[in-house]
Chain A
Amino acid sequence: MKETVKTHSLTKEYGAIECVSRLDMEVHEGRIYGFLGPNGAGKSTTLKMLLGLARPTHGEIEIFGKRLTNRNRLGILRNIGSLIESPSYYGHLTARENLKIYQTILGLPEKNIDKALQIVRLDRQQGKKTSAYSLGMKQRLGLASALLSFPKLLILDEPTNGLDPAGIQEMRELIRSLPEQYGMTVIVSSHLLSEIDQMAEDIGIIANGRMMYQGPLNMLHETDRSKTLEEIFLSLTGKDVSL
Chain B
Amino acid sequence: MLFKLLKAERMKLRRSPVWTAFILMPIVPAVLGTVNYLGNSEILTSEWYSLWTQHTLFTCYFFLPIMIGIYCSYIMRLEQNNRNWNKTLTMPSPKWMVFTSKLIITAFMILISEIWIGALFIISGRLIGMGGALPLRETAVWCLFGTLGGTVMAAAQLVISMLVKSFALPVGLAFAGGISGLVFLVKDLGHIWPYSLMAYGMNSNSPQQMMESGYVPFIIICIVYIALFTAAGGIILSKKEM
Report which A residues bind B (CB closer than 8 A).
Answer: 48, 51-55, 70, 74-75, 77-78, 80, 82, 84-93, 97, 100-102, 104-107, 145
Q: How many residues of B contact A (CB 8 A)?
A: 27
**B165 interfacial contact with A, CB 8 Å:** no
Q: How far apart are the CA atoms of A74 and B91 in the complex, in Å?
A: 8
Tell me if A88 and B82 are in contact (CB < 8 A): yes
Say yes or no: is B207 at the interface (Cβ < 8 Å to chain A). no
* CB nearest neighbor in B for A77: B92
Comparing B9-17, B116-124, B128-136, B144-152, the segment that makes contact with chain A is B9-17
A77→B5 contact, CB < 8 A: no
Q: How far is the CB of A137 from chain B (nearest CB, A)?
A: 13
Tell whether, in the assembled complex, residue B86 and residue A101 are in contact, meaning their CB atoms are under 8 Å apart: no
Given A92-B14, A102-B87, 17 further pairs, Cβ under 8 A: A52-B89, A74-B92, A75-B92, A77-B90, A82-B86, A88-B83, A88-B85, A90-B81, A92-B15, A92-B16, A93-B11, A93-B14, A97-B14, A102-B8, A105-B4, A105-B8, A145-B87
Can you list 11 contacts pairing A with B, beta carbon distance less than 8 Å? Answer: A52-B89, A54-B241, A74-B92, A91-B82, A92-B15, A93-B15, A97-B14, A102-B87, A104-B8, A105-B5, A105-B93
Contact yes or no, A102 B91, CB < 8 A: yes
Quote the shortest CB–CB distance from B6 to chain A (angstroms): 9
Question: Closest residue of chain A to B1, judged by CB?
Answer: A105
Task: Kindly state the separation between the CA atoms of A107 and B8 in the bound complex, as whole angstroms.
Answer: 11
Known A51-B90, A74-B92, A75-B92; contact A89-B8, beta-carbon cutoff 8 A: no
Chain A residues with CB below 8 A from B78, complex form? 90
Q: Say whether A104 contacts B7, CB under 8 Å.
A: yes
